Structures are given as structure tokens and as C-alpha cells.
Amino acid sequence: MQRGAVAIASAALLSTSLATTSPASAAPAQTGQISATLIDAAGRLITQNIPALGTTGSSSIDLPGLFNILTPPGANPPGATPPNLAPTGDRRTSCQTVVHIGDSTSVGIDSALRIPSAADRLTAQYQRVGSKTVELNALGGRSIVEKVNDEPNAVDAIRTEKSAGKSGCWVIAMGVNDAANIAVGSAVNADQRIDRVMSELTGQPVLWPTVMTGNASNAAYSPDNMKSFNAALARATGRYPNLRIYDFASEAQPSWYVDGIHYNETGLVQRNRLFATALATAFPGR
């Protein structure tokens, strides 16, 4: 279900440049931190300490590498062999059904009006990596909590898809508007917003890309606000073993934006391609 027009309404997409350095190891976790095992684009295991829920300094977290996946404790003991990752174009996913939940930045990503080449559209890209059924539920102005003109928020959209029998893998392309809403005074913080989404998707694979904005005129959509939301996503991997984070923010280019928040045709094409490849990397086929 694809709805809404491209518009900025209580939502944003970020413009923070997250570091892409990949340290080989990290010091033992200190008080207020958790130790995360991550997988970078080359398939290398990386250990990094990240702030635990509610600790200070969490807004400045850097997510190393392209595909950041926090594994359950003990899943990758020290010295474990990194997984075999196929070249980017050859990766395949075990996700037969994909439900993509998005805001205005996802409106039109499966449409000939925005993307002339059918091969570059969302459904084709998810099919490229092995998915058979793709459902797009996107709406301009959408956030996880707030509603614009009483339209469904992201939690409502997830419940609608579930009530229609949809299950499988979920791509949650949300956070831009949420980061902006928090910045202007929402009492629901990023951790709570993520919890509301994840509580609806217990036991189902979830891929959540980090958010990125360019030079947006609205200060609520600043890169620092996006960085804070991304830090909350990193923390959430410690609470939800079914959650994988793709660091899209480190890949997005300034030339992909039309207004610092929404994407031009090049940006939409590249975003679709990267999301599909990330899905195959996070939830690979056998």
C-alpha cells in the first residue's frame, strides 16, 4: 500500500556523517556500556563498546562499517570465523516476504513517476536479492508516534499489515520525522519509539536503516538530531535479537537530496539498491 505525497510534515531524514573506520578490537566495556559484535561490509567481526540505555554521551556514537549487526551474547566468541559474505551484487536473502514501512522518503520508490526504470524500483530490488512478495506502506509526514491529519502512524501501519496476514521480514524506514519531533519537544524519546515498533514485531526479522539528512532548512531535521536517533537504534540491538541495523547514514551522498530530506531520482535508485543488499546481508539465504 503506497500512500501520500512527498511532503515534510513533522518528519526528517538525517545528514550526519557517521564514521566508517572499523577497529579490530575494543577495550573491555566500562560501566554504562554494552559490548557489541558487528559485521562490516567485508565480513569482518568488529567489537565496539556502545552506551547502554539511558547513559550519557549516547548521541555521539559512531557505527563502524557498512552493515552493523549486533549479535546475541556468546554468538560470536573471540576468534570466531567471520561469515562468508558474497560480493555485493550476488548476495541473497532468506526473506521471502518483505514489508517496508516508511514515511515520505519512501513514497514513490516503487513508482514509474519517480523511478522510470522498473529494475530500479523497490519491488524489483528486493526481488533481485531473492524476495518474492514485497509490500510497501509509506505515507508523507509519518512518524512512529504522532499522526498528521489523523493518518496512520508507523505502529498503525504495522498493525494494518499484520491484520492482513503479512509476516516475514520487515524494513522499518523510519526515524527522520521522529528525530525532528523529539527535537521540538515530544515527551516520547527515541528509545521508547523504537520499543513501540519492535513490540509489534516480536520474533520477526527486522532491518532498520539509520537515518540521514542533508542541508535541510528546518533545524529540527539537523544531523545532530538524526545522530541521536541512530544512537538509540544501536542501543536497541541489545534489547531485540531479531533487530539488525544497516548504517545507511554512512553511505548517503549530499547529491542524492532535493531539499536535505527527500531524494532525487539518483538518490531513490541508490537507496533502493542499498536497502535490498543490506537485507540480504542481514538475513542471508542458505
Residues listed for the chain: 286
pTM of the model as a whole: 0.76
**Confidence (pLDDT) at 251:** 86
DSSP-assigned beta bridge partners for residue 47: 37
Question: Measuring CA to CA, how many Å separate 167 from each of 37, 99, 133, 240, 251?
Answer: 27, 8, 10, 17, 29
**Confidence (pLDDT) at 58:** 32
How far apart (Å, rounded) are the C-alpha atoms in residues 33 and 196? 23
Per-residue pLDDT of the chain (286 residues; tens, 9 = 90+): 444 322 222 222 222 222 222 223 334 445 555 444 444 444 444 455 544 433 333 333 333 333 444 333 344 444 444 444 466 668 899 999 999 999 999 999 999 999 999 999 999 999 999 999 999 999 999 999 999 999 999 999 999 999 999 999 999 999 999 999 999 999 999 999 999 999 999 999 999 999 989 888 999 999 899 999 999 999 999 999 999 999 899 888 999 999 999 999 999 999 999 999 999 988 999 7
Residues 6+ away with beta carbon under 8 Å from 76: 37, 45
Closest by CA position to 20, among listed 231, 230, 250, 228? 250
**Confidence (pLDDT) at 10:** 27
Closest by CA position to 105, among listed 176, 193, 180, 178? 176
Q: Residue 152 in contact with residue 16, Cβ under 8 Å?
A: no
How far apart (Å, rounded) are the C-alpha atoms in residues 69 and 87? 18
Closest by CA position to 252, among listed 63, 18, 69? 18
**Confidence (pLDDT) at 2:** 43
Instruction: Outline where 75-214 has alpha helix (H).
Output: 122-128, 154-163, 176-183, 190-198
**Confidence (pLDDT) at 33:** 53
**Confidence (pLDDT) at 144:** 98
